[in-house]
Structures are given as structure tokens and as C-alpha cells.
Amino acid sequence: MTSAHSTAEPTRPLVPVLAVVGVGLIGGSFAAALRASGAVGKVLGVGRNAASLATARTLGIIDEAVSLERAGQEADLIFLATPVGAIATALGALKASLRPSTLITDAGSTKVNVVAAAREALGQSIGQFIPGHPIAGAEKTGPEAADPQLYRHRNVVLTPLEENKAADKVALTRIWERCGARVISMEPEAHDAALASVSHVPHFLSSVFMWQVATAQDSDLRMTLAGSGFRDFTRIAAGSPEVWRDIFLTNRPAILAELQEVKAALERAELALQGGDGQELQDFLERAALARRFWGSRSGLS
């Protein structure tokens, strides 16, 4: 990637030409953050939705809407911000036009599956792909939601491959840091297990719960009496069904394993409730409350 050497030429931005595939919240915010920090020259946008591309251009998030082929020919860095199920297709379409100096990364919420799909799609060019996952909000969608501050103080996980060049890993780390993010490197399997726990399982439980309330005979009455606790607990259940179906399917083993752990904990708490064991109930509630309060005070997220 040429941009890794660009610090020697102050007139040249860190990423001369950026291509963002998917110009919604995640892709648009990445482009906006790099532009705001002066780290990018030209931004190309790729997407299936012509209206989103037009909006992104009007908002100044991208300079030009192009095909995947042109992105492969012209970009120094390609950022794949599509649902995980569409990453393999995008990589397959990029392969033919890809220059050897182009670096590719992604924002997919699962990594083991994305790495396998990338190996198959890119073949010998796999070294040009550094898998990534910025852990940043996705309640709002579309280019209108793009925010140059989205990644500030957020964690970005990279799961580099053996084939990645050291200079490219350094460059991508620097690029994310220009967005205000903190970069953490780990194995794809460790990423997927941790995310199954703190992201995928909560989404699964929130959606199951929401489904159960919505399909109850007296759901109208229930929802009339729902307050701010319900609001917070079910907020993630409003997320995109397609995006989350893909995440669940691509991280299935880790999610199923984690669900067993949660169900075991639920069984234990339920037994305490059945037995009217106030002390055990309070002990588990206290442990949970203290852990949540500590996390809240450290995460900068609440």
C-alpha cells in the first residue's frame, strides 16, 4: 500500500484514494472521519442503492460513485462496509481489477467466516486483505447518519492474517487512529467468541423476548405498560433483520455455545426465584449491578 510511505511527503494524504463499499453509517462515518482529519484525498463510493450514493455525494461523504471494478483499479484503500453476507461477493468482484498495492479491510461483525470467504475469493492476493471490525453503534442507518466522530474512543479489532505485510498492518492501524479509534489485534476465533458473548447473544435474546411479547394475546396491553427498561432492553431488536440473520448464521457455533452458558445461568437464577431464596437473588443481582456499573464508568459508553 503506497500510503504507508506517504508520511515522508507532507503534501500527500495518508490515503490518496479511498473507496468505501457501502456508504451507510459505518462506511460513511469512516470516510467522513478520514476526511475531517485530512487523511484522505479522494473518496470513491460503491453501493447497490443509487439513492444512498446520491445522498452520500450531496453530503460530501464521497466524491464520486463508481463500480467495484473501478474501485479496484483506483483505490489505495478499500473499506468494505456491507453486511457480512455480501463481503465474499464484493471481494470476488474486486479480484480481477485489483492492483497489487491496494489494501482492503472490512467492518464485518464476524471474522472466522469472513476470513474463509476472503481466502476463497482473493486466492493468492489474500495478503492484501486485513480483516477488521470497528465496534461502534449501528442504531441509525444510511449516509445521513454518517458521523466523523462515530469511531472516536471506540475499539476497532483487527484480525491480521499471516500473509499480511507488516507495513500494511501499521498503515491500517494509523488510519484507524486518525478516526480516533483504539486498535486491538487478536485471532479471528477469539474475536468471534467474545462478540458472540457481548453482541450476538444479547441481540438474539432481545429479539426472542420482543417476539414473545409481540405475539402474546394481550400484547397491546403489555406494550402500553412498557417503560424505559423495556425500551433499553429491546432497542437492539429493532435492528436490520437481514444484517442480524447473516451475523447469526456466520457465527453460529460460537453463539450456540454461548447461549448454553446463558441458559445455565438462567436456570440457576430461576431456581433461586422458585425457592424464594432472597439472599441468592440479591447476591446475583449485586454481582450483575456492580459489574455493569463498573463497565459503564470505564467504557465511556454510558
Q: Which of residues 30-69 bind a copy of itself (CB under 8 A)?
A: none
- Minimum Å gap between C-beta 240 and a copy of itself is 7
Residue 26 contacts a copy of itself per CB under 8 A: no
Residue 240 contacts a copy of itself per CB under 8 A: yes
Q: Which stretch binds a copy of itself (CB under 8 A): 54-62, 90-98, 163-171, 292-300?
A: 292-300
Q: Which residues contact 228 (CB under 8 A, 6 or more apart)?
A: none
Q: What is the residue type of 192?
A: D
- Minimum Å gap between C-beta 16 and a copy of itself is 31
- Contacts to a copy of itself from residues 130-169, by CB under 8 A: 135-139, 154-155, 157
- Contacts to a copy of itself from residues 250-289, by CB under 8 A: 252, 255-256, 259, 261-263, 265-266, 269-270, 273-274, 276, 278, 281-282, 284-289
Residues in the interface with a copy of itself (CB under 8 A) total 91
Torsion region of 195: left, alpha or beta (phi above 0 gives left; psi -120 to 50 gives alpha): alpha
- Minimum Å gap between C-beta 160 and a copy of itself is 17
Longest CA–CA span in the chain (Å) reads 71
Nearer to a copy of itself, 49 or 155 (CB): 155
